[in-house]
Amino acid sequence: MTQPDIIVIGGGIAGVSAAAMLACDARVVLIEAEPQLGYHATGRSAAIFIRNYGNDVLRALNALSAPTLQAPDGISDRSLLSPRGEMLIASESETAALEDYAKGATGLERLTAAQAVALVPILRQERIAAAIIEPDAQDIDVDRMLQGYARLVRERGGQTVKGAAVTGLSRTNDCWQVTTATSTWSAPIVVNAAGAWADTVARMAGLAPIGVTPMRRSAVLLNAPDGYQIDAWPLVAGASEGWYAKPDAGRLLVSPADEDPVEPHDAWPDDLVVAEGLHRFEQAVTIPVTRPTHSWAGLRSFTADRTPAVGFDPSTTGFFWLAGQGGYGVQTAPALASICAALCLGHQMPAPPNILDALKPDRFRVT
Ligand SMILES: Cc1cc2nc3c(=O)[nH]c(=O)nc-3n(C[C@H](O)[C@H](O)[C@H](O)COP(=O)(O)OP(=O)(O)OC[C@H]3O[C@@H](n4cnc5c(N)ncnc54)[C@H](O)[C@@H]3O)c2cc1C
d(CA 39, ligand 1 centre) in Å: 8
- pTM for the model: 0.97
Q: How far is the CA of 124 from the centre of ligand 1 (A)?
A: 34
Q: What is the pLDDT of residue 85?
A: 98
Residue (of 27, 42, 36) closest to 301 by Cα position:
42
Averaged pLDDT, 121-146: 98
Ligand 1 atom at shortest distance from the alpha carbon of 218: 1
Residue 162, classed as helix, strand or coil, is coil
Among the listed residues 233, 245, 359, the one whose alpha carbon sits nearest the alpha carbon of residue 308: 359
pLDDT computed for residue 104 by the predictor: 87
pLDDT class of 1 with cuts at 50, 70, 90: low
For the segment 334-357, what is each residue's pLDDT rounded down to a tens digit? 999 999 999 999 989 999 999 999
Q: Residue 328 Cα, ligand 1 centroid: separation in angstroms? A: 10
Mean pLDDT of 211-224: 98
Percent of the chain with pLDDT strictly greater than 70: 99
In eight-state DSSP terms, residue 109 is: E
List, for residues 300-311, the tens digit of each pLDDT value. Answer: 999 999 999 999
Residue 365 pLDDT level (bands cut at 50, 70, 90): confident
Residue 158: DSSP 8-state: -
* pLDDT exceeds 70 at position 367: no
Give residues (CB < 6 A) around ligand 1. 9-15, 31-34, 38-42, 44-48, 165-166, 193-197, 201, 217, 219, 298, 300, 325-331
DSSP state of 6: E
pLDDT tens string 48-71: 999 999 999 999 999 999 999 999
